[in-house]
Amino acid sequence: MRLGSGRSGRWKITVVGSGHVGATAAQLCAYKNLGDVVLIDIIEGVPQGKALDLSESAPIEGFDMRLTGTNDYADTKGSDIVVITAGLARKPGMSREDLRDVNANIVKEVAEKVSAHSPDCFMIVVSNPVDTMTWVAMKYAKLAKNRIAGMAGVLDASRFRHFIAAELGVSHDDVHSMVLGLHGEDMVPLPSHASVSGIPITELIPPDKIRGMVERTRDGGAEIVRHLKTGSAYYAPGSSIAEMVQSVVRDEKRVLPCPVYLEGEYGINGIFMGVPCVLGSSGVEKVIELKLSPEETALMKKSAEGVKKSVSQLKV
């Protein structure tokens, strides 16, 4: 069933959490005219203020979408897309797993509340550790597997693409990459599936520099946390969310790496993990299975074991 039947044919997009990531995602969805946006948060006044501030940029930025700030989940009723950014962000020295139990309770509550008002939505989970939090959200929102995905691989692949483009001094538009696995230290960047205008990066970049870019991609979020000290990344995550939303809203059927629910693909069952999938107006429309080397397959298995362990240790 196709999504998107809101006011005057517009899509209704709810962003839960009006911190840096949520506000940036809301901004980009509005600027791209993807739909009317509801920004919701538990802190009174913050989503209202940010929604009003964004609305006042409309005459300059040239968008006509309606933005609403609220603390009441009733205002999210009938949402076509729900983005969950709520939860604690990392601080220096913290891993994504350190956030698991606190964020699991937050995501559980959010999933139950939004699904009560929007049972047929497509949900994008951003809260960390995202592979585990997407599992929590699906369980408590009671969504079909095609109606939910995490945001991770799009961000990780964007970081990998940036490092490749910067190394070669070429346009980002000509660089393509794929990052699979969990969103963390055991993610699986694939140099074998990275290219510049169809030219494999293995023909353009020495192996030692490729290894360095792979490691920097795995450490991408932590590197930013170390710089910021009191927060985590939000510009690139916000852009990654908007890219996913756009693919669904405009039925672009983009092939994007996202944590989706696996039932045998890549030999993995019962968890969410990053794989290439087609995102369109029906949500997750297809999972694409790449041919992986034995080394890449082993890394995927290790990544999957990390997600399974995280899910098994949940206290929610």
Cα-to-chain-centroid distance, residue 162: 17
* Neighbour-count burial of 102, counting CB atoms closer than 10 A to its CB (0-12 exposed, 13-18 middle, 19+ buried): middle
Catalytic residue (choose from 20, 162, 183, 193): 183
Q: 183 an active-site residue? A: yes
Amino acid at 219: D
**String of DSSP letters for 278-299:** EEETTEEEEE------HHHHHH
Cα-to-chain-centroid distance, residue 71: 23
Angstrom distances, CA of residue 230 to CA of 7, 108, 184, 222, 225: 39, 26, 20, 12, 7
Angstrom distances, CA of residue 81 to CA of 54, 128, 193, 307: 19, 19, 30, 25
Amino acid at 61: E
Report the alpha-carbon distance of residue 285 to residue 302 in Å, rounded: 26
Report the alpha-carbon distance of residue 36 to residue 127 in Å, rounded: 22
Return the structure tokens found at 253.
Answer: 């059927």
Q: Looking at the annotation, which residues are catalytic?
A: 183
